[in-house]
């Protein structure tokens, strides 16, 4: 179905072929999305008929056993890849290339190699295709969220054993590997004043008293989860618990406003309204799509004109950050499907206080 949807776009734009590359040092999410194969090679998609995944001899057996899509055949190449592709594409005028996934140097190499052909950027339509998930993708996303819930539960349950931020980060990574997954992104463990930095990098320092933000996700069959929970180390003040409750209520109330075709900026505005005078401490977007990449469409930003559609999976993650003092973020991966919002990350959000 994914290949067929892309082919419909190619026909509409009169693009003869779409060409995707996956290199050892640069994974292409669209290559994986269309083929379900992570190994390096090239995927050539014509306007009609079967697509072809070209792999080197050493990758062919693995690819043949991995690729289950009936609209893709797997072939090995024994000579140089680009000359072979050039021969196949011979006589065609328009070639679709995802410019966002190749270097400038490689783009100009393609331009020179396919001289006389118009290279059309298909990055945006690929992002649009990936925004709405099918049943198999939803199954993988649910499982990824279930696994990350389980790991976060174990992590918080063992928190008194951890001495440093890196202890927590390493635990999350080790548990992820133990379950046959990999990290969706480098885990964030930000304690004390470090929690006021949304993209804090955990260090080998003692866990500080105060709020501790844990932002974490796993990859299951190529699909990612993303969740953030904030715990408190020590004894919180009334002002701190009130701030946490305000943010939690903001997340819950904002989620209630998700509906079919709502413009994403309207959800952002709702979040700002709920935060009231504290909205100036909300310094990032409300959320983002999740799939084969950790940041996909839709974008729940102040200026976003994108709309929520059936089958979209995205995050809702309001946060407040008081520079040099503390920060709080609460994030769930959610799905809009069949007229309702389903929360995929189910670990409880009530403030957990860990006495130290």
Confidence of residue 24 (pLDDT cuts 50, 70, 90): confident
What percentage of the chain reaches a pLDDT higher than 70? 100
Task: Give the CA distances from residue 29 to residues 39, 79, 223, 250, 269, in Å, rounded to whole numbers and listed in that order.
Answer: 12, 26, 10, 33, 31
Whole-number Å distance between alpha carbons of 33 and 126: 9
Over residues 56-62, the mean pLDDT reads: 89
**CATH second-level architecture of 135-354?**
Alpha-Beta Complex (3.90)
Identify the pLDDT of residue 271. 98
Instruction: Report pLDDT digits (tens) over 114-151.
Output: 988 999 999 999 999 999 999 999 999 999 999 999 99
Instruction: Report pLDDT digits (tens) over 192-213.
Output: 999 999 999 999 999 999 999 9
Q: Among residues 56, 74, 54, which one has the least CA distance to residue 66?
A: 74
**Contact yes or no for 226/290 (Cβ under 8 A):** yes
DSSP 207: P
Identify the pLDDT of residue 78. 80
Q: How far is CA 32 from the centre of its chain?
A: 13
Which burial class, exposed, middle or buried, applies to 82 when counting CB atoms under 10 A from its CB (0-12, 13-18, 19+)? middle
**Contact yes or no for 198/215 (Cβ under 8 A):** no
Instruction: Report pLDDT digits (tens) over 35-46.
Output: 999 888 999 999
**Contact yes or no for 273/286 (Cβ under 8 A):** no
Task: Give the CA distances from residue 219 to residues 147, 148, 270, in Å, rounded to whole numbers and listed in that order.
Answer: 9, 9, 31
Question: Rounded to a whole number, what is the distance in angstroms from the first to the last CA of the chain?
Answer: 53
Strand partners, 314: 289, 334
User: CA angle, corner 127, sides to 123 and 151, nearest 5?
Assistant: 130
Task: Give the CA distances from residue 40 to residues 114, 129, 167, in Å, rounded to whole numbers and listed in that order.
Answer: 21, 22, 34
What percentage of the chain reaches a pLDDT higher than 90? 87
Q: Among residues 170, 314, 331, 179, which one has the least CA distance to residue 250?
A: 331
Three-class secondary structure of residue 79 per DSSP = coil
Identify the pLDDT of residue 356. 76
Over residues 301-328, the mean pLDDT reads: 98
Strands 332-337 and 312-316, sheet pairing: antiparallel
> pTM of this prediction?
0.94
Confidence of residue 13 (pLDDT cuts 50, 70, 90): very high
Q: Going by CATH, does the domain composed of 2-131 fall within 3.40.630.30?
A: no
Whole-number Å distance between alpha carbons of 23 and 101: 10
Strands 210-216 and 227-233, sheet pairing: antiparallel
**Ranked by mean pLDDT, which of 24-33, 111-120, 292-301 comes out on top?**
292-301
The domain ranges of the chain are 2-131, 135-354
Is pLDDT of 69 > 90?
no
- Residue 204: how many other CB atoms lie within 10 Å: 11
Over residues 304-324, the mean pLDDT reads: 98
DSSP states of 223-265: EE--EEEEEEES---HHHHHHHHHHHHHHHHHHHT--TT-BHH
Is pLDDT of 246 > 80?
yes
Whole-number Å distance between alpha carbons of 22 and 17: 17
Strand partners, 307: 263
Is pLDDT of 320 > 90?
yes
Task: Give the CA distances from residue 295 to residues 98, 127, 164, 289, 291, in Å, rounded to whole numbers and listed in that order.
Answer: 17, 10, 29, 6, 8
Identify the pLDDT of residue 70. 86
Is pLDDT of 91 > 90?
no
- Residue 235: how many other CB atoms lie within 10 Å: 10
Confidence of residue 110 (pLDDT cuts 50, 70, 90): very high
């Amino acid at each position: 179905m994914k290949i067929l949807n892309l082919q419909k776009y190619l026909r509409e734009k009169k693009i003869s072929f779409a060409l995707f590359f996956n290199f050892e040092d640069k994974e292409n999410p669209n290559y994986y999305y269309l083929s379900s194969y992570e190994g390096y090679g090239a995927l050539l998609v014509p306007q009609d008929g079967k697509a072809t995944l070209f792999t080197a001899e050493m990758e062919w057996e693995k690819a043949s056993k991995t690729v289950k899509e009936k609209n893709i055949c797997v072939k090995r190449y024994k000579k140089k890849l680009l000359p072979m592709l050039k021969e196949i594409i011979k006589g065609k005028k328009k070639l679709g290339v995802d410019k966002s996934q190749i270097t400038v140097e490689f783009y100009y190499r393609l331009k020179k190699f396919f001289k006389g052909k118009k290279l059309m950027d298909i990055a945006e339509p690929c992002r649009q295709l990936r925004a709405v998930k099918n049943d198999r993708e939803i199954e993988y996303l649910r499982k990824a969220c279930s696994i990350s819930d389980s790991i976060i539960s174990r992590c918080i349950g063992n928190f008194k054993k951890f001495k440093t931020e890196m202890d927590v980060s390493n635990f999350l990574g080790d548990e992820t590997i133990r379950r046959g997954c990999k990290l969706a992104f480098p885990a964030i463990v930000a304690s004390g004043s470090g929690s006021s930095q949304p993209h804090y990098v955990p260090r080998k320092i003692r866990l500080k008293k105060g709020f501790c933000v844990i932002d974490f996700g796993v990859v299951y069959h190529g699909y990612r989860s993303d969740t953030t929970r904030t715990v408190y180390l020590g004894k919180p003040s009334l002002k701190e618990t009130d701030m946490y409750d305000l943010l939690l209520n903001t997340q819950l109330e904002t989620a209630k406003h998700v509906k079919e075709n709502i413009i994403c900026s309207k959800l952002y505005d709702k979040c700002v309204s709920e935060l009231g005078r504290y909205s100036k401490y909300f310094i990032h977007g409300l959320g983002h799509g999740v799939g084969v990449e950790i940041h996909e469409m839709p974008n729940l930003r102040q200026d976003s004109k994108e709309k929520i559609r059936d089958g979209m999976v995205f995050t809702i993650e309001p946060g407040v950050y008081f520079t040099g003092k503390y920060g709080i973020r609460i994030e769930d991966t959610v799905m809009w499907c069949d007229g309702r919002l389903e929360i995929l990350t189910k670990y409880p959000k009530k403030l957990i206080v860990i006495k130290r």
